[in-house]
């Protein structure tokens, strides 16, 4: 018989898939690391597992404890899955702009979701930062992973994503491209690849235009999960050789093409990362092997990037003539 003890045992070990149509005419081999193959559906399963296990070891998280984290998305799913395995409770705090679908996914895993108003200042007691801090002190046995400051976030990539890429490419990877949110992926994977290759592998961040990583001020953008308006502790400022800024329009165009032309239904930050990888590929040669990491799948974005009316409403597609309205899944 062939089986694992628990779904959590399947975190990591995701495949590399060649990009064909999108990389046509370009000299390097462009490979995608498909992180939606993780059991919780995103790259964040990796950090969830490592952060929880480290907190168990240090004694910060005790049997029967409660995980409290401000998150609305992928990190919440990863934490909820790991918590289920290990018998912890989860309370996630998210702003009310987060779609009901996303909240329901977390509830489906058995987590409690506390919703806070978006339209208040960060220092307001009802802001989602303050509510999560308050809950940590109020709930007995509460522990907050804090993915923006937890060194186990980049460490999980140093010990899993990085070695996987080195092994899967037989040490032939020349460039690693990824989006930057907390910076955990680029810092951990990038640092490992630099160490193992003695600095040969180039590390390239993809960033939404307007975010701090590419010199912006935090101006709003629509791609989710990447870019910041502050510098997280989990971001190693010395690791990236280059940061390539990508517009929302370009990110979403490539995201839609990944589904239609490569059969990869992935999120908007994946389109952004691939856009950066393709830009890089234009100046690389036939011996180069570019790996681009795709953090999550596209099902969570059907009413956004994959919805023509939504795309038109932001000017990313010509005005919609079908009579469809935003919210219709086309
Ligand atoms: N894309 C998506 C969809 C994400 O949820 C995240 C994590 N915030 C990232 C990219 C960026 O990964 P990291 O936090 O490791 O920089």
Q: pLDDT tens across 83-137, in order?
A: 999 999 999 998 887 778 888 999 999 999 999 987 888 788 998 888 999 999 9
Nearest ligand 1 atom to alpha carbon 74: 5
Give the span between the Cα atoms of 246 and 186, in whole angstroms. Answer: 17
Nearest ligand 1 atom to alpha carbon 147: 14
Count of beta carbons in the 10 Å neighbourhood of residue 57: 9
Pocket of ligand 1 (CB under 6 A): 73-74, 179-185, 224-226, 267, 269, 295-296
Which pLDDT score is estimated for 142?
98
Query: Cβ distance 141 to 65 under 8 Å?
Result: yes
Report the residue among 71, 155, 181 best suited for mutation to probe ligand 1: largest number of ligand atoms under 8 A from its CB: 181
Q: Which of 44, 89, 144, 304 is catalytic?
A: 44
Residue 67 CA to its chain's centroid (Å): 20
Report the residue among 186, 269, 270, 271 best suited for mutation to probe ligand 1: largest number of ligand atoms under 8 A from its CB: 269
Q: What is the pLDDT of residues 7-19, one digit of tens each?
A: 999 999 999 999 9
- Give every CB contact of residue 130 below 8 A, 6+ residues apart in sequence: 122, 123, 124
Q: Angle at which helices 100-108 and 74-86 pack, to 10 degrees?
A: 10
314: Cα within 13 Å, side-chain hemisphere: 18
- Segment 58-77 mean pLDDT: 94
Distances (CA, A) of 82 to 11, 21, 87: 10, 37, 9
Question: DSSP assignment, residue 15?
Answer: P
Distance (Å) from CA 24 to ligand 1 centroid:
27
First-to-final CA distance of the chain: 42
Distance (Å) from CA 23 to ligand 1 centroid:
23
Encode 5-19: b = buried (16+ Cβ within 10 Å), e = exposed: eeebeebbebebbeb
Which pLDDT score is estimated for 328?
52
Length of the chain counted residue by residue? 330
Q: What is the pLDDT of residues 226-279, one digit of tens each?
A: 988 889 999 999 999 999 999 999 999 999 999 999 999 999 999 999 999 999
Question: DSSP assignment, residue 55?
Answer: H
Residue 220 pLDDT level (bands cut at 50, 70, 90)? confident
Q: What is the pLDDT of residues 163-194, one digit of tens each?
A: 999 999 999 999 999 999 999 999 999 999 99
Which pLDDT score is estimated for 99?
79
Annotated catalytic residue 86: no
Which pLDDT score is estimated for 291?
99
Average pLDDT, the chain: 94
Nearest ligand 1 atom to alpha carbon 267: 3
Q: Is the ipTM of this complex over 0.90?
A: yes
Q: Where are the beta strands (DSSP E) in 156-298?
A: 175-179, 202-208, 242-246, 289-294
* Burial of residue 2 (number of CB atoms within 10 Å: 0-12, 13-18, 19+): exposed
Nearest protein CA to atom 6 of ligand 1, as residue = 225
Distance (Å) from CA 145 to ligand 1 centroid:
16
Nearest protein CA to atom 2 of ligand 1, as residue = 225
């Amino acid at each position: 018989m062939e089986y694992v003890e628990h779904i959590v045992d399947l975190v990591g070990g995701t495949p590399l898939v060649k990009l064909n149509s999108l990389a046509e005419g370009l000299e390097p081999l462009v490979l995608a690391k498909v992180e939606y193959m993780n059991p919780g559906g995103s790259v964040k399963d990796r950090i969830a597992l490592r952060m929880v296990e480290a907190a168990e070891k240090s004694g910060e998280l005790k049997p029967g404890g409660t995980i409290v984290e401000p998150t609305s998305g992928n990190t919440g799913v990863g934490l909820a899955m790991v918590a289920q395995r290990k018998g912890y409770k989860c309370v996630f705090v998210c702003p009310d702009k987060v779609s009901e679908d996303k909240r329901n996914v977390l509830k489906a895993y058995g987590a409690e979701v506390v919703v806070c108003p978006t339209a208040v200042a960060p220092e307001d007691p009802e802001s989602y930062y303050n509510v999560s801090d308050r809950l940590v002190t109020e709930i007995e046995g509460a522990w907050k992973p804090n993915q923006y400051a937890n060194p186990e976030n980049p460490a999980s990539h140093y010990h899993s994503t990085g070695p996987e890429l080195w092994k899967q490419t037989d040490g032939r990877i020349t460039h690693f491209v990824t989006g930057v949110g907390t910076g955990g992926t680029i810092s951990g994977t990038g640092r490992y690849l630099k160490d193992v290759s003695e600095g040969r592998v180039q590390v390239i961040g993809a960033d939404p235009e307007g975010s701090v990583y590419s010199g912006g001020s935090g101006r709003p953008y629509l791609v989710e999960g990447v870019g910041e308006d502050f510098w997280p502790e989990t971001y190693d400022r010395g690791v990236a050789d280059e940061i390539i800024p990508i517009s929302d329009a370009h990110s979403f165009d490539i995201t839609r093409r990944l589904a239609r032309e490569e059969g990869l239904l992935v999120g908007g930050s994946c389109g952004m990362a691939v856009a950066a990888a393709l830009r890089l590929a234009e100046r690389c040669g036939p011996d180069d092997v570019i790996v681009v990491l795709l953090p999550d799948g596209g099902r969570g974005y059907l009413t956004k990037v994959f919805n023509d009316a939504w795309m038109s409403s932001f000017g990313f597609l010509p005005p919609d003539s079908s009579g469809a309205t935003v919210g219709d899944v086309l």
